[in-house]
Amino acid sequence: MKSNQKLSILLWVFKAKATKDGKAPIYARITIEGRDDEISLGRKVDPQFWDHELKLVTEGGMEAKITNQKILQIKSDLERHFMVLQTLHVQITSSMLKNVYLGLPVHYDKQSKSEPVAIQTLVPIFADFIKSFTKKVKKGLRSEGTLRQWRSTKRKVESFIVHEFKRNDINLSEIKYSFAESFYEYLTVEVENPLSEVTAKKHIKKTKQILKKCVRKGLIANNPIHDFECGGEQADVVPLELSEVETIYRKQIDIPRLDQVRDAYIFQCFTGFAFQDLYGLAPDHIVKVGLNAERWLIKDRGKTGVSEMVPILPIIEELIAKYKTDPYCIINNRLIPVNGNARYNGYLKEIAVLCGIKRELNTHLARHTFADIMLNNGVPLEDVSKMLGHKSIRTTQRYAKVRKPRISQSMAAGVSV
């Protein structure tokens, strides 16, 4: 189904509605097959600075720049919505396009005598989603770590709305494509502690998911920030060298809290378990595999639900034995004592200083280090993917960057050029 209709957009200044300061509002007139509708841009201009040919403001400094950006944005948004409607409807009217642009149902009729629809705003919808997600976490269907990420995104969205719109919430119908652009700039430039581009886009991606759910529920006709690109290159994580891991393992640490965290981190480096999975490891997760009854750790990963299967290496056997009689492990049925996430990360910073490791130690780095150790020892990528509990081997490929040791091994094996 494809419409062949044509769209015409005319920008004009409504001089009859000029205010006392002489400024008049700018309108966009959308015309399809002789029928038209008008949309206010929410911007005003002094008519003497309006270029009738270019349909832009010629003077006025920063205010003019913002208005011109708004003009270009509305034209782009209308054309984009029109193309989408062409793929869905044989016949399109100007009112249909106006409704979609304003975030209303396609066939919404303001003259209808039906019951008024309550205005939907973004923050309560975020809150409802998180409430539902929390219930799933309690039932073990979702991970606590992912819930923390959703809560973080909600806080950042609320902070952005206050910064950008000077209020505590925003109507769904007010959200345009520019919302994502401004949110991204806010997170990467304007906040006190700017986020990396990758992290900022993750928060926008989650916001896109919320708006996508709003479309499914019929609260808005389309996702206004659907086209915002949240992909791009991810920063390479350089694994720890085996010598660095050994330095951490061999370091004499006399402070019990740091000694335990060091052991937990070494446990991660040689199993690849994420923090939440390490935290919940119990003796029941030790399974004997094969004719030789080799001891393996097998556990469903909290984030993906995919089973992680890792052979228990000698260094891991030592750590399990070390904490077999630990009171915390006995009372809580755990293999190894693990602090809460915040303390764990804080103590890792102290350990890095004590061991002379000049980079940040974190759980993500430990997973990359484990993958690197396995690949350097000839374990196939497919098997490493299973050990890490990845749903797709493509995810694992990001862990498999070519490193100097493997290049050396290839050269030593007589690989010809």
162 lies in which domain range? 122-216
Give the per-residue pLDDT at 187: 93
Q: Are residues 228 and 209 in contact, defined by beta-carbon separation less than 8 angstroms?
A: no
Tell me, yes or no, if the pTM score tops 0.85: no
The CATH code of the domain that includes 408 is 1.10.443.10
Given a contact cutoff of 8 angstroms between Cβ atoms, the answer to whether 225 and 204 are in contact is: yes
At 152-163, the pLDDT tens digits run 999 999 999 999
User: Are 129 and 209 in the same domain?
Assistant: yes
Q: Report in angstroms the alpha-carbon separations of 309 from 40, 126, 337, 375.
A: 59, 35, 21, 16
Asked if the structure places residue 233 within a domain, the reply is: no
Give domain status of residue 360, yes or no.
yes
| Same-domain pairing of 376 and 258 | yes
Q: Are residues 335 and 188 in the same domain?
A: no
Are both 336 and 210 inside the same structural domain? no
Whether residue 250 is found in the same domain as residue 140: no
Residues 378 and 276 in one domain: yes
Residues 199 and 252 reside in one and the same domain:
no
Task: Note whether residue 130 is domain-resident.
Answer: yes
User: Do 312 and 400 sit in the same domain of this protein?
Assistant: yes
Where among 216, 233, 258 does a domain terminate?
216
**What is the C-alpha to C-alpha distance for residues 373 and 361, in angstroms, rounded to an integer?**
17
* Residue 410 confidence (pLDDT) above 70: no
133: in domain: yes
Same domain for 181 and 297?
Answer: no
Total of domains in the chain: 3
Compute the mean pLDDT over every residue in the chain, rounded to the nearest whole number.
83
Residue at a domain's end among 42, 70, 101: 101
Q: With bands split at pLDDT 50, 70 and 90, how would you rate the model's confidence at 1?
A: very low
Whose CA is closest to 311, among 364, 256, 272, 262? 272
- Is 107 contained in some domain? no
- Give yes or no: residues 74 and 196 share one domain: no
pLDDT tens digits, 7-42? 899 988 888 888 888 888 999 899 988 888 888 888
Domain boundary pick from 71, 101, 131: 101
Digit-coded pLDDT (tens) for 51-102 = 888 888 887 778 888 888 888 888 888 888 888 787 777 788 888 888 888 8
Q: Report if residue 19 sits inside a domain.
A: yes
Q: 268 with 352, same domain?
A: yes
Look at residue 81 and tell me if it is in a domain. Answer: yes
Between CA 368 and CA 373, with CA 369 as vertex, the angle to 5 degrees is 120
